[in-house]
Amino acid sequence: MKKIYHKLGLFYLILFPYLFGMNGSLLGSPITTSYFQTKEGKIAYSKTGDGKRNLILLPGIGDRKESYFELSLLLAKENSVYSFDLRGLGESDVSFSSYGPKETAEDILTFIREKDLQNVYIIANSMTAASAVYIRSLEKKRVLGLVLSGPFVREKSPLSFGMKTLIQLVFRGPWGPSAWVSFYESLFPVNPPKDLKERSEKLKNNLSEDGRMAAVRSMLLAPKKECEAALNIVSGNVIVVMGTKDPDFDSPEEEAEWIAKTLGGEKRMYEGAGHYPFVEDPTRFHSDVQKLWQKK
Protein backbone atom coordinates (compact mmCIF):
# COMPACT_ATOMS: atom_id res chain seq x y z
CA MET A 1 0.00 0.00 0.00
CA LYS A 2 2.93 2.24 -0.60
CA LYS A 3 0.93 4.48 -2.89
CA ILE A 4 -1.66 5.17 -0.20
CA TYR A 5 0.99 6.72 1.98
CA HIS A 6 2.57 8.68 -0.87
CA LYS A 7 -0.73 10.21 -1.94
CA LEU A 8 -2.49 10.79 1.35
CA GLY A 9 -1.66 14.49 1.31
CA LEU A 10 -3.10 14.83 -2.18
CA PHE A 11 -6.25 12.98 -1.23
CA TYR A 12 -6.67 15.21 1.77
CA LEU A 13 -6.56 18.29 -0.46
CA ILE A 14 -8.93 16.84 -2.97
CA LEU A 15 -10.41 16.49 0.52
CA PHE A 16 -19.65 -1.89 -10.76
CA PRO A 17 -19.78 -1.49 -13.80
CA TYR A 18 -22.55 0.36 -15.69
CA LEU A 19 -24.27 -2.86 -16.56
CA PHE A 20 -24.79 -3.64 -12.89
CA GLY A 21 -27.69 -2.28 -10.94
CA MET A 22 -27.48 -1.57 -7.22
CA ASN A 23 -28.81 -5.08 -6.61
CA GLY A 24 -25.89 -6.62 -8.48
CA SER A 25 -27.78 -7.53 -11.63
CA LEU A 26 -26.45 -7.82 -15.14
CA LEU A 27 -28.85 -6.90 -17.96
CA GLY A 28 -31.74 -7.73 -15.67
CA SER A 29 -30.41 -11.14 -14.59
CA PRO A 30 -30.18 -11.10 -10.78
CA ILE A 31 -27.16 -12.25 -8.85
CA THR A 32 -28.46 -13.44 -5.52
CA THR A 33 -26.70 -12.34 -2.36
CA SER A 34 -26.61 -14.84 0.48
CA TYR A 35 -25.36 -14.45 4.04
CA PHE A 36 -23.70 -16.56 6.68
CA GLN A 37 -23.75 -15.68 10.35
CA THR A 38 -20.64 -15.26 12.47
CA LYS A 39 -20.54 -14.42 16.17
CA GLU A 40 -20.49 -10.67 15.48
CA GLY A 41 -22.44 -10.26 12.27
CA LYS A 42 -23.36 -11.49 8.80
CA ILE A 43 -20.96 -11.87 5.87
CA ALA A 44 -22.39 -11.44 2.37
CA TYR A 45 -21.48 -13.66 -0.58
CA SER A 46 -22.80 -14.76 -3.95
CA LYS A 47 -22.54 -18.22 -5.50
CA THR A 48 -22.32 -19.02 -9.19
CA GLY A 49 -21.74 -22.34 -10.90
CA ASP A 50 -22.04 -25.87 -9.60
CA GLY A 51 -18.85 -27.87 -9.88
CA LYS A 52 -16.81 -30.27 -7.75
CA ARG A 53 -14.12 -27.65 -7.07
CA ASN A 54 -15.03 -24.85 -4.66
CA LEU A 55 -13.42 -21.51 -5.47
CA ILE A 56 -13.44 -18.70 -2.91
CA LEU A 57 -12.84 -15.16 -4.21
CA LEU A 58 -11.73 -12.49 -1.73
CA PRO A 59 -11.49 -8.80 -2.70
CA GLY A 60 -9.01 -6.30 -1.31
CA ILE A 61 -9.55 -3.42 1.10
CA GLY A 62 -12.46 -1.16 0.17
CA ASP A 63 -13.56 -3.37 -2.70
CA ARG A 64 -16.68 -5.48 -3.19
CA LYS A 65 -17.45 -8.99 -4.39
CA GLU A 66 -18.76 -7.55 -7.68
CA SER A 67 -15.23 -6.68 -8.76
CA TYR A 68 -14.76 -10.38 -9.54
CA PHE A 69 -17.89 -10.65 -11.70
CA GLU A 70 -16.24 -11.19 -15.09
CA LEU A 71 -13.77 -13.69 -13.65
CA SER A 72 -16.47 -15.51 -11.68
CA LEU A 73 -18.51 -16.12 -14.84
CA LEU A 74 -15.51 -17.73 -16.52
CA LEU A 75 -14.70 -19.85 -13.48
CA ALA A 76 -18.33 -20.86 -12.89
CA LYS A 77 -18.44 -22.92 -16.10
CA GLU A 78 -16.69 -25.78 -14.29
CA ASN A 79 -16.63 -24.80 -10.61
CA SER A 80 -18.70 -23.63 -7.68
CA VAL A 81 -17.60 -20.03 -7.18
CA TYR A 82 -18.16 -18.08 -3.96
CA SER A 83 -17.48 -14.33 -4.15
CA PHE A 84 -17.32 -12.58 -0.78
CA ASP A 85 -17.76 -9.14 0.70
CA LEU A 86 -15.33 -8.57 3.56
CA ARG A 87 -16.76 -7.77 6.97
CA GLY A 88 -17.86 -4.12 7.07
CA LEU A 89 -17.91 -3.73 3.27
CA GLY A 90 -20.28 -4.40 0.39
CA GLU A 91 -23.40 -6.01 1.80
CA SER A 92 -21.77 -7.44 4.92
CA ASP A 93 -22.62 -6.11 8.38
CA VAL A 94 -20.70 -3.30 10.07
CA SER A 95 -21.25 -4.71 13.56
CA PHE A 96 -17.79 -6.24 13.94
CA SER A 97 -15.36 -5.17 16.65
CA SER A 98 -12.26 -5.52 14.45
CA TYR A 99 -11.24 -5.79 10.82
CA GLY A 100 -8.10 -7.15 9.19
CA PRO A 101 -6.49 -10.08 7.38
CA LYS A 102 -6.74 -12.49 10.31
CA GLU A 103 -10.39 -11.57 10.89
CA THR A 104 -11.15 -12.20 7.22
CA ALA A 105 -9.37 -15.55 7.47
CA GLU A 106 -11.43 -16.53 10.50
CA ASP A 107 -14.67 -15.64 8.69
CA ILE A 108 -13.76 -17.78 5.68
CA LEU A 109 -12.57 -20.65 7.87
CA THR A 110 -15.97 -20.59 9.57
CA PHE A 111 -17.68 -20.67 6.17
CA ILE A 112 -15.56 -23.55 4.83
CA ARG A 113 -16.11 -25.64 7.94
CA GLU A 114 -19.83 -24.94 8.31
CA LYS A 115 -20.43 -25.76 4.63
CA ASP A 116 -18.03 -28.72 4.90
CA LEU A 117 -16.36 -27.62 1.68
CA GLN A 118 -13.67 -29.84 0.19
CA ASN A 119 -11.43 -29.34 -2.86
CA VAL A 120 -11.14 -25.59 -2.12
CA TYR A 121 -9.04 -23.04 -4.00
CA ILE A 122 -8.75 -19.42 -2.87
CA ILE A 123 -8.23 -16.37 -5.08
CA ALA A 124 -7.31 -13.29 -3.06
CA ASN A 125 -6.27 -9.72 -3.76
CA SER A 126 -4.09 -7.28 -1.81
CA MET A 127 -4.61 -7.59 1.98
CA THR A 128 -6.66 -10.78 1.72
CA ALA A 129 -3.68 -12.60 0.21
CA ALA A 130 -2.40 -12.72 3.79
CA SER A 131 -5.79 -14.11 4.83
CA ALA A 132 -5.58 -16.83 2.17
CA VAL A 133 -2.15 -17.96 3.37
CA TYR A 134 -3.40 -18.12 6.96
CA ILE A 135 -6.49 -20.10 5.94
CA ARG A 136 -4.46 -22.67 4.07
CA SER A 137 -2.04 -23.06 6.96
CA LEU A 138 -4.97 -24.26 9.09
CA GLU A 139 -6.87 -26.23 6.43
CA LYS A 140 -4.28 -27.96 4.28
CA LYS A 141 -6.51 -30.94 3.48
CA ARG A 142 -9.42 -28.78 2.32
CA VAL A 143 -7.59 -25.87 0.70
CA LEU A 144 -5.52 -27.22 -2.20
CA GLY A 145 -4.20 -24.07 -3.85
CA LEU A 146 -3.98 -20.28 -3.84
CA VAL A 147 -3.84 -17.49 -6.40
CA LEU A 148 -2.51 -14.32 -4.79
CA SER A 149 -3.07 -11.13 -6.79
CA GLY A 150 -1.22 -7.91 -5.95
CA PRO A 151 -0.48 -9.58 -2.63
CA PHE A 152 0.44 -8.05 0.71
CA VAL A 153 1.50 -10.98 2.87
CA ARG A 154 4.13 -9.52 5.18
CA GLU A 155 4.71 -6.53 7.41
CA LYS A 156 6.98 -3.81 6.12
CA SER A 157 8.30 -0.87 8.13
CA PRO A 158 5.86 0.19 10.86
CA LEU A 159 3.77 3.29 10.30
CA SER A 160 4.71 6.38 12.24
CA PHE A 161 2.24 8.04 14.58
CA GLY A 162 1.95 10.90 12.11
CA MET A 163 1.07 8.60 9.22
CA LYS A 164 -1.51 6.76 11.30
CA THR A 165 -3.05 10.10 12.23
CA LEU A 166 -3.09 11.20 8.59
CA ILE A 167 -4.87 8.00 7.53
CA GLN A 168 -7.51 8.68 10.14
CA LEU A 169 -7.98 12.24 8.84
CA VAL A 170 -7.98 11.49 5.11
CA PHE A 171 -10.37 8.55 5.24
CA ARG A 172 -12.77 10.00 7.79
CA GLY A 173 -15.62 12.44 7.36
CA PRO A 174 -17.70 13.24 4.26
CA TRP A 175 -14.62 13.35 2.02
CA GLY A 176 -13.47 9.83 3.02
CA PRO A 177 -15.27 7.84 0.29
CA SER A 178 -14.13 10.28 -2.41
CA ALA A 179 -10.55 10.09 -1.18
CA TRP A 180 -10.65 6.31 -1.29
CA VAL A 181 -12.14 6.28 -4.79
CA SER A 182 -9.38 8.63 -6.00
CA PHE A 183 -6.84 6.17 -4.62
CA TYR A 184 -8.68 3.22 -6.17
CA GLU A 185 -8.61 4.81 -9.63
CA SER A 186 -4.87 5.46 -9.33
CA LEU A 187 -4.30 1.69 -9.07
CA PHE A 188 -5.06 1.36 -12.80
CA PRO A 189 -2.14 3.53 -14.03
CA VAL A 190 -1.91 2.26 -17.63
CA ASN A 191 -5.00 0.34 -18.76
CA PRO A 192 -8.03 1.30 -16.66
CA PRO A 193 -11.21 -0.67 -17.42
CA LYS A 194 -13.70 1.11 -19.64
CA ASP A 195 -16.25 1.13 -16.83
CA LEU A 196 -13.88 2.50 -14.18
CA LYS A 197 -16.08 5.52 -13.42
CA GLU A 198 -19.11 3.28 -12.91
CA ARG A 199 -17.12 0.96 -10.67
CA SER A 200 -15.88 3.96 -8.70
CA GLU A 201 -19.39 5.31 -8.26
CA LYS A 202 -20.57 1.96 -6.87
CA LEU A 203 -17.66 1.91 -4.43
CA LYS A 204 -18.29 5.49 -3.35
CA ASN A 205 -21.97 4.79 -2.73
CA ASN A 206 -21.15 1.73 -0.66
CA LEU A 207 -18.41 3.44 1.36
CA SER A 208 -20.76 6.34 2.10
CA GLU A 209 -22.92 4.03 4.19
CA ASP A 210 -22.52 4.24 7.96
CA GLY A 211 -19.60 2.25 9.29
CA ARG A 212 -17.98 1.37 5.96
CA MET A 213 -15.05 3.82 6.08
CA ALA A 214 -14.40 2.87 9.69
CA ALA A 215 -13.87 -0.68 8.46
CA VAL A 216 -11.49 0.56 5.75
CA ARG A 217 -9.44 2.58 8.24
CA SER A 218 -9.22 -0.41 10.55
CA MET A 219 -8.01 -2.66 7.72
CA LEU A 220 -5.36 -0.15 6.65
CA LEU A 221 -3.90 -0.17 10.16
CA ALA A 222 -4.39 -3.87 10.90
CA PRO A 223 -1.27 -5.99 11.57
CA LYS A 224 -0.37 -9.06 9.52
CA LYS A 225 1.87 -10.66 12.14
CA GLU A 226 -0.01 -13.94 12.57
CA CYS A 227 -0.77 -14.25 8.87
CA GLU A 228 2.87 -13.59 8.02
CA ALA A 229 3.94 -16.39 10.35
CA ALA A 230 1.85 -18.77 8.23
CA LEU A 231 4.24 -18.20 5.31
CA ASN A 232 6.53 -20.75 6.97
CA ILE A 233 3.78 -23.38 7.00
CA VAL A 234 2.26 -23.09 3.51
CA SER A 235 4.07 -24.48 0.48
CA GLY A 236 3.24 -25.50 -3.07
CA ASN A 237 0.47 -24.99 -5.61
CA VAL A 238 0.55 -21.22 -5.27
CA ILE A 239 0.45 -18.72 -8.14
CA VAL A 240 1.43 -15.11 -7.50
CA VAL A 241 0.00 -12.65 -10.02
CA MET A 242 1.41 -9.13 -10.13
CA GLY A 243 0.98 -6.23 -12.52
CA THR A 244 4.29 -4.77 -13.67
CA LYS A 245 2.86 -1.29 -13.04
CA ASP A 246 1.27 -1.97 -9.67
CA PRO A 247 1.88 1.36 -7.88
CA ASP A 248 1.48 -0.23 -4.46
CA PHE A 249 4.97 -1.75 -4.69
CA ASP A 250 8.42 -0.23 -5.20
CA SER A 251 9.32 -3.27 -7.27
CA PRO A 252 6.33 -5.47 -8.15
CA GLU A 253 8.50 -8.15 -9.75
CA GLU A 254 10.83 -8.42 -6.76
CA GLU A 255 7.91 -8.75 -4.35
CA ALA A 256 6.21 -11.35 -6.55
CA GLU A 257 9.47 -13.28 -6.81
CA TRP A 258 9.99 -13.24 -3.03
CA ILE A 259 6.46 -14.43 -2.28
CA ALA A 260 6.56 -17.16 -4.94
CA LYS A 261 9.92 -18.42 -3.69
CA THR A 262 8.84 -18.31 -0.05
CA LEU A 263 5.66 -20.30 -0.76
CA GLY A 264 7.20 -22.67 -3.28
CA GLY A 265 4.94 -21.28 -5.98
CA GLU A 266 5.10 -19.60 -9.37
CA LYS A 267 4.81 -15.98 -10.40
CA ARG A 268 2.94 -14.43 -13.32
CA MET A 269 3.74 -10.85 -14.32
CA TYR A 270 1.05 -8.97 -16.27
CA GLU A 271 2.72 -6.34 -18.42
CA GLY A 272 1.25 -2.87 -17.89
CA ALA A 273 -1.32 -4.05 -15.35
CA GLY A 274 -1.86 -2.33 -12.01
CA HIS A 275 -3.17 -3.63 -8.70
CA TYR A 276 -6.17 -5.54 -10.10
CA PRO A 277 -4.96 -7.92 -12.86
CA PHE A 278 -8.18 -9.95 -12.66
CA VAL A 279 -10.13 -6.82 -13.67
CA GLU A 280 -7.77 -5.74 -16.44
CA ASP A 281 -7.36 -9.20 -18.00
CA PRO A 282 -9.94 -11.68 -16.62
CA THR A 283 -9.44 -14.12 -19.53
CA ARG A 284 -5.73 -14.53 -18.88
CA PHE A 285 -6.31 -14.60 -15.14
CA HIS A 286 -8.86 -17.38 -15.62
CA SER A 287 -6.29 -19.36 -17.59
CA ASP A 288 -3.72 -18.93 -14.84
CA VAL A 289 -6.17 -20.01 -12.13
CA GLN A 290 -6.88 -23.24 -14.00
CA LYS A 291 -3.22 -24.21 -13.77
CA LEU A 292 -3.73 -24.94 -10.08
CA TRP A 293 -5.51 -28.18 -10.91
CA GLN A 294 -4.63 -28.82 -14.55
CA LYS A 295 -0.99 -29.58 -13.75
CA LYS A 296 -1.92 -32.34 -11.34
Tell me the torsion sign for CA atoms 164, 259, 63, 38. Answer: negative
CB atoms within 10 A of CB 7: 17
Q: Is the pLDDT of residue 2 over 80?
A: no
Beta-strand (E) ranges in the chain? 33-37, 42-48, 53-58, 79-84, 120-125, 143-149, 238-243, 266-270
pTM: 0.88
- Dihedral over Cα of 70, 76, 78, 80: its sign: positive
User: Which one is predicted more confidently, 137 or 165?
Assistant: 137
Cβ contacts of 107-111, under 8 Å, gap ≥ 24: 107/38, 107/43, 108/56, 108/58, 108/84, 108/135, 109/135, 109/138, 109/139, 110/36, 110/38, 111/36, 111/43, 111/45, 111/56, 111/82
Domain 2-294 sits in CATH at 3.40.50.1820
pLDDT classification of 3: cutoffs 50, 70, 90? low
Longest dimension (CA), the chain: 52
| pLDDT at position 18 | 33
**238-250: per-residue pLDDT in tens?**
999 999 999 999 9
What is the per-residue pLDDT for 173? 75
113 falls in which pLDDT band (50, 70, 90)?
A: very high
Which residues have a Cβ under 8 Å from the Cβ of 139 and sit 6 or more positions away? 109, 112, 113, 120
pLDDT computed for residue 174 by the predictor: 80
pLDDT at 277: 97
